[in-house]
Amino acid sequence: MKIRDIELHRRKEIHEYLTTTHMFSFFVMTWALVLNTRLFSMEDYSLTIVRVLLVSSIGVLAFILISRYNEKIACQNLITKFTWVDILYVSFHLVVATVTIFLVDQDTAYIEVILLLPVITTASLMGVKAGMVMASICTAIIYTKNILLGPLVGVFEITGGNIITISVMFIMAWFSGAQTNLENQHRKQLTRLASTDFLTGLYNYRYFQDKFHEYIQKASEKNPFALIIIDIDYFKHYNDIYGHQAGDEVLAAVADILSARIGRRGIVSRYSGDEFVIGMPNTDSEQAIQVAEEIGKSIRSHHYPGVEYQPEGRLTVSCGVAVYPTHARNAKELLKHADQALFRAKSLNKNKVELYFSVFDNLDLPRDEKELLNSIRTLVSVINAKDRYTYGHSERVISYSTALARKIGLSQEEINLLGYAAFLHDIGKIEIDREVLNKVDMLNEKELEELKQHPQWGGDIVAAVTQLQPIIPIIRYHHENYDGTGYPDGLKGSEIPLLARIIRIADTYDAMVSLRPYKNPLSIPDAIKELTAGAGVQFDPELVPPFLEIIQEEIAQKTDG
């Protein structure tokens, strides 16, 4: 059960208990006093019953309407707030009690005791201060009654019986109000403990989920809701060197930075071990990116012990951004897309802010083909999970391939096709066993032949989507070599589609600089040497120089950042 649901259920139980108690007290006192007032007359019994029923009906109706409205307000907000309805609720008791003491026979003993009803009601709803105020008002009413209906004995003189009644009112105001204050404090403390993360002091994931869905319900095109997921880069590396206690200090420091940056503009929560999530209402994509970049800058500039030994020489974060309803149709989809954006940011060398986008967003597909495409995209996720050493490989190949395509001046239509093909170029690996994909030793002949089938299998898989059929030859031939020694068909030179030749370079370079089961990653300078040596053999010699320019630009940008 959600934290909010638990709290609302408890609040509803307390509300129902108070309402029942107030109603019971009201009717007991009212009927007891009616029997001693001028409203009750044995000579006109039927008229008396009608009057009593009328008063009772009005009381019941007032109780029901006010209590139901109060319950609705309580369910809308967990924070205790007193509205005009609460004032009306306690005022109703005060009016009934006041009218009653002015209607009863003057010789009725301790008639003023009915004023305990508004005092107890107010104190049990609003606490000690409000209860004491109501007790003071009731004391003034007793004084007023003595002046108007009693003997002229002086304004400040009062009977012994009234002193007892007034004392009891203040005692009940303090006692009932103190119980209410303690209950409210206890409830707030439990809610705080249940909704915050002990280490960072931020809201925890469960509480964030509750608020997240609330924000989504209120969001619209004019008032978008931005979601930012933040992950600390190489945090495991930091933990391994300095221990978890030092890592906890880093998490707390990052949490403080996030809280200071966001303030009341949104909600900040710890998402998982080294991940945080930010929800910001009334925030569009540009604003969210700006916030994420400011956060990244603040975290990079903060000093942490031993941070100089991090791979980047400093502590950095990667951020994924998605906005509702711009990028998603519901809360689940928004969370998924922000997570995909984070995945892309971490795949592309980390220390980045990435806004969600999909290479397939521009495809206008029939409903059945959209469902098929979603299934294909799921298969890519399965491949990434099966082959942990190439996790994020497709995203990086998209980045390198499209950058090269822009460098050599291809059209946007060609770049779009290239993006589709780059994302799906390894989808045929779904047919290959996990043991083969992650094998440390050299593949045997049978396993190698199986692996070489994945380009053809990939083309067969995407063939079912009509608008993806142009990328079939790109996927099929992305392992062909420029000199004709590649697979599956041994094409060479211009026989290989240009877009397949582009993916061949991007795919190979990323494989070189990534950790693989059977080898350690090459350094970037060594990878550049391999690309240069492979020009005209594995790779199109005209594509290698512009690709190397892209790598050099990436290195320069990373150094400046």
Of 64-78, 231-245, 355-369, 533-547, minimum mean pLDDT range? 64-78
Report the pLDDT value the prediction gives residue 102, as an integer from 0 to 100. 76
Residues 335 and 463 in one domain: no
Q: How many CA atoms lie within 13 A of 421 on its CB side?
A: 33
Token pair belonging to 261: 């940056």
Tell me which amino acid residue 335 is. L
Q: What is the pLDDT of residue 490?
A: 93
Q: What is the pLDDT of residue 277?
A: 95
According to DSSP, the residues that pair with 104 across neighbouring strands are: 37
Quick check: 419 pLDDT over 60? yes
Q: What mean pLDDT is reported for the chain? A: 80
Structural domain of 550: 362-561
Q: Judge if 469 and 531 occupy the same domain.
A: yes
Residue 541 preceded by cis peptide, ω within 30: no
SS3 state of residue 269: strand
Q: Residue 317 maps to which CATH number?
A: 3.30.70.270
SS3 16: helix
| Residue-wise DSSP of 287-329 | HHHHHHHHHHHHHHHS--TTGGGSTTSS--EEEEEEEETTS-S
User: How many whole angstroms separate alpha carbon 398 and alpha carbon 45?
Assistant: 92
Q: Residue 152: its pLDDT value, please?
A: 45
Backbone angles phi, psi at 319, to 5 degrees: -130, 135
Q: How confident is the model at residue 547 (pLDDT cuts 50, 70, 90)?
A: very high
Pairing of strands 225-232, 275-281: antiparallel
C-alpha span between 315 and 233 (Å, rounded): 7
Regarding whether 531 and 478 lie in a shared domain, the answer is: yes
pLDDT at site 53: 60
What tokens does 282 get? Answer: 């009334």
pLDDT at position 304 is 84
3-state secondary structure of 432: coil
Burial of 137 (0-12, 13-18, 19+ CB in 10 A): middle
- Of 214 and 7, the structure prediction assigns the larger pLDDT to 214
Long-range contact list for 94-100, CB < 8 A, 24+ apart? 94/118, 94/134, 94/137, 94/138, 96/26, 96/30, 96/59, 97/29, 97/138, 98/141, 100/29, 100/30, 100/33, 100/37
Helices 331-347, 393-407: inter-axial angle, 10-degree rounding: 70
Q: Are 463 and 469 in contact (CB under 8 A)?
A: yes
Q: Quote the DSSP letter at residue 516.
A: B
Most confident range, picked from 238-247, 281-290, 461-470: 281-290
How much is the pLDDT for 33?
57
Residues composing the chain: 561
Looking at the structure, tell me whether residues 310 and 348 fall in a common domain.
Answer: yes
Mean pLDDT of 447-451: 88
Which of 27-31, 198-202, 398-402 shows the lowest per-residue confidence on average (mean pLDDT)? 27-31
The pair of three-digit structure tokens given for residue 200, joined into one six-digit string: 């960072």
Both 219 and 321 in a single domain? yes
Examine the domain organization and report whether 528 and 395 are in the same domain. yes
Identity of the highest mean pLDDT range in 95-99, 197-201, 247-251: 247-251
Mind listing the pLDDT tens digit for each residue in 98-119? 877 776 655 555 677 778 888 8
Q: Are 520 and 539 in contact (CB under 8 A)?
A: no
CA-nearest of 369, 478, 338 to 417 is 478
Query: Of 427, 429, 425, 446, whose CA–CA distance to 438 is shortest?
Result: 429
**Ramachandran category for residue 225: left, alpha or beta (phi over 0 → left; psi -120 to 50 → alpha):** beta
Say whether both 306 and 325 belong to one domain.
yes
Are 140 and 67 in a shared domain?
yes
R_g of the chain computed on alpha carbons: 37
Higher pLDDT, 139 or 35: 139
Task: Please provide the DSSP assignment of 527-546 as one string.
Answer: HHHHHHHHBTTTB-TTTHHH
Lookup: tokens for 500: 């397949």
Q: What is the pLDDT of residues 488-538, one digit of tens each?
A: 999 999 999 999 999 999 999 998 988 776 678 888 999 999 999 999 999
Q: How far apart are CA 129 and CA 29, in angstroms?
A: 25
Token reading at 60: 């019941």
C-alpha–C-alpha distance, residues 181 and 186, integer Å: 8
The predicted structure's pLDDT at residue 92: 73
Tell me which of 312, 328, 357 is where a domain ends. Answer: 357
User: 100 near 92, Cβ under 8 Å?
Assistant: no
Residue scoring higher pLDDT (343 or 494): 494
12 and 104 inside one domain: yes
Work out how many domains the chain is built from and give that number: 3
My answer on whether 99 and 186 are in the same domain is yes
What Cα–Cα distance (Å) separates residue 84 from each residue in 16, 120, 477, 539? Answer: 19, 18, 74, 77
Q: How confident is the model at residue 160 (pLDDT cuts 50, 70, 90)?
A: low
Residue 556 in this model has a pLDDT that exceeds 90:
no
- CATH number, residue 506: 1.10.3210.10
User: What is the pLDDT confidence band of residue 156, given thresholds at 50, 70 and 90?
Assistant: very low
What is the model's pLDDT at position 69?
47
Instruction: Select from 172, 195, 218 the last residue of a domain.
Output: 195
Alpha helical stretches, state H, 366-410: 367-386, 393-407
Predicted local distance difference test score (pLDDT) of residue 530: 94
Of 29-33, 104-108, 141-145, 498-502, the range with the highest mean pLDDT is 498-502
CB atoms within 10 A of CB 178: 14
Q: Give the number of C-alpha atoms closer than 13 A to the C-alpha of residue 108, restricted to the C-beta side.
A: 18
Would you give the distance in Å from CA 281 to the centre of its chain? 11
| Domain end residue (candidates: 151, 173, 195) | 195
- Of the candidates 61, 132, 64, 55, which has an alpha carbon nearest to the alpha carbon of residue 96? 55
Pairing of strands 317-324, 353-355: parallel
**pTM for this model (two decimals):** 0.63
Q: Determine what percent of the chain is predicted with pLDDT higher than 90.
A: 29
Looking at the structure, do residues 377 and 494 belong to the same domain, yes or no? yes
Chain position carrying tokens 């009234």? 162
> For 15-26, how does the pLDDT look when each residue is reduced to its tens digit (9 = 90+)?
666 566 666 666
More confident: 471 or 307 = 471
| pLDDT score recorded for residue 180 | 81
For residues 458 and 542, state if they share a domain.
yes
Residue, of 379 and 63, whose pLDDT is higher:
379
